[in-house]
Amino acid sequence: LAHGGAPSGLAGRRVLISAGGTREPIDPVRFIGNRSSGRQGYALAATALARGAEVVLVSANVGLPDPAGADVRRVGSAQELREAVLAERAKADVIVMAAAVADFRPVSSAEGKIKKTGAGPAPIELVENPDILLEISGERARAGQVVVGFAAETDHVLEYGRAKLARKGCDLLVVNQVGGGRAFGTEDNQAMVLGADGSATEIPNGPKEDLADRVWDLVEPRLAPGHT
Ligand code: CTP
Ligand code: CA
């Protein structure tokens, strides 16, 4: 037991983390993707494991070694990521959506490789993907479940972050300032963590493991009373 007799945070808790970036198929060899490396999500998994949590890691196109002890589920597209998260969510005490989920996908993926015809490219028609964070925040699969979202903003970080937190309905939103080489594809990460209770916690620039630890520090007091 930690100070004051409080149960030690994440120990024995079930944590579901999505990491990486989805790929939306255009044809069998092409996709629409993004620059997420998966490092922040993997750092969250590793630090949760170090705190004694059971971790299910839904991993979208990440080229990193599996964190030792994590139950890793590999997915490709946003729809696959959604299926994997929805299948696991009822067991989770905490869900962290660290994955960069594509907002749009091609209406359909061509069966064969798209060929040049000489007549110029055909447009790729897109449809919107379901918003997984909105779905899992709006209707909690478990009483007291803590839901954490991530957001990358290039400007108006606080204003856009607050609006996004309210719209999504999650408990915490980790807002990264991106652009100018920050966050995506880099080792370090700096963020503002906004809480549904109105709190704002600045996390200074540092390794993604440090940011992950600060996120768990904010999650732990929000957990429903333990079951140890
Ligand atoms: N997210 C999700 N499902 C989607 C899109 C996003 O679950 N279809 C999650 C991300 O994993 C992240 C959070 O929502 O935790 C915020 O993603 P972001 O792209 O910043 O938010 P959007 O609502 O897509 O808004 P924007 O127009 O700024 O991209
Ligand atoms: Ca988005």
What pLDDT shows up at residue 187? 60
Q: Where is the binding site for CTP, in residues?
A: 103, 113, 130-133, 150, 164, 168
Tell me which residue of 105, 95, 157, 163 sits closest to 132, measured CA to CA: 95
Percent of the chain predicted with pLDDT > 90: 82
Task: Note the pLDDT tens digit of each residue in 138-155.
Answer: 999 999 999 999 998 888
Query: Closest Cα to atom 29, ligand 1: which residue?
Result: 103
Task: Note the pLDDT tens digit of each residue in 209-223.
Answer: 999 999 999 999 999
What pLDDT shows up at residue 154? 85
Say what the pTM is.
Answer: 0.94
Residue 193 tokens read as: 């963590």
What pLDDT shows up at residue 1? 44
What residue ranges in 66-140 does DSSP mark as E strands? 71-75, 94-97, 104-106, 126-128
Residue 66, pLDDT > 80, answer: yes
Tell me which residue of 70, 92, 93, 69 sits closest to 19, measured CA to CA: 70
Output the average pLDDT for the chain.
92
Lowest mean pLDDT among 22-36, 95-109, 130-144, 172-186: 172-186
Ligand 1 atom nearest residue 150's Cα: 15
CA distance 129 to 201: 30
CA distance 29 to 216: 38
CA distance 130 to 154: 23
The DSSP 8-state label assigned to residue 170 in this structure reads: -
Residue 5, pLDDT > 60, answer: no
* CA contacts within 13 A on the Cβ side of 56: 21
Instruction: Compute the distance from residue 77 Cα to the ligand 2 centre, in Å.
Output: 14
Tell me which residue of 50, 8, 28, 212 sits closest to 111, measured CA to CA: 28
CB 187 within 8 A of CB 205: no
Instruction: Compute the distance from residue 103 Cα to the ligand 1 centre, in Å.
Output: 7
What pLDDT shows up at residue 177? 82
Q: Pick the residue with more confidence: 225 or 183? A: 225
Q: What is the 3-state secondary structure (H, E, C) of 55-66?
A: EEEEEECCCCCC
Backbone dihedral angles phi then psi of residue 159, each to the nearest 5 degrees: -65, -50
Instruction: Compute the distance from residue 87 Cα to the ligand 2 centre, in Å.
Output: 22
